[in-house]
Amino acid sequence: RKEVEQDPGPFNVPEGATVAFNCTYSNSASQSFFWYRQDCRKEPKLLMSVYSSGNEDGRFTAQLNRASQYISLLIRDSKLSDSATYLCVVISNQAGTALIFGKGTTLSVSS
Amino acid sequence: EPEVTQTPSHQVTQMGQEVILRCVPISNHLYFYWYRQILGQKVEFLVSFYNNEISEKSEIFDDQFSVERPDGSNFTLKIRSTKLEDSAMYFCASSDGGVGYEQYFGPGTRLTVT
């Protein structure tokens, strides 16, 4: 079983749409959770950390369900500039800091 | 804004040759990492380095790989005898703390093994 699984998409949405991405992780001992963004042929960049209580940063909302081992990202009012691949990332080793990446979900926002 | 830099941006080498990928982490950071991404696949952790030693490594990081911090600014990844399957984008990252601290990624070195 893959450590971090995501729907690869692509998700094609018009500007202004709301889109949700989901992710599941296999290691119940995982301790830290993130969403990263990766533009084509570029490095990953942290979008937001994900907390059990849920957290919001502008148009972006992240949720964590530890019981279901499920993480989500909601993007409201999509912009053209949101077009990218969204990576679900987990630290699964309680003693370590290695980031374990999902393969990513591709979002394309069109006008 | 401080950033992680990597050189070269693209390296082409023949199978069996040794390559050294170079990184300059953000200056006050203490934790250093290498990740790789084969084209079309996910980003994979290779190794983490803290306090002048490897703190964690993946199954990918076998005896043909090594890391070094030769001075106060550079962090290098050496691949001793490259294979075709080593062709990938190699990202260096650094952070100023452990768990919970953001890892900042460099722009990557694209390694092509022919």
Closest partner residue to A101 (CB to CB) among B43, B95, B102 is: B43
Percent residues over pLDDT 70 in chain B: 100
Q: What is the pLDDT of residue B67?
A: 97
Q: If you average pLDDT over residues A79-99, what whole number do you get?
A: 91
Backbone angles phi, psi at B43, to 5 degrees: -70, 130
Q: Cβ of B42 under 8 Å from any chain A Cβ?
A: yes
Find residue B103's DSSP bridge partners.
none
> pLDDT confidence of A1, banded at 50, 70, 90?
low
Q: Cβ of B103 under 8 Å from any chain A Cβ?
A: yes
**Which candidate, B29, B73, B31, places its Cα nearest to that of B50?**
B31
A positions 89-108 inside 8 Å of B (CB): 91, 93, 96-104
Q: What would the pLDDT profile of A15-45 be if each residue is shown by its tens digit?
A: 999 999 999 999 998 889 999 999 998 999 9
β-strands B10-13, B109-113 pairing: parallel
> pLDDT confidence of B2, banded at 50, 70, 90?
confident
Q: Flag if B103 and A46 touch (Cβ within 8 Å).
A: yes
Q: If you average pLDDT over residues A80-91, what whole number do you get?
A: 96
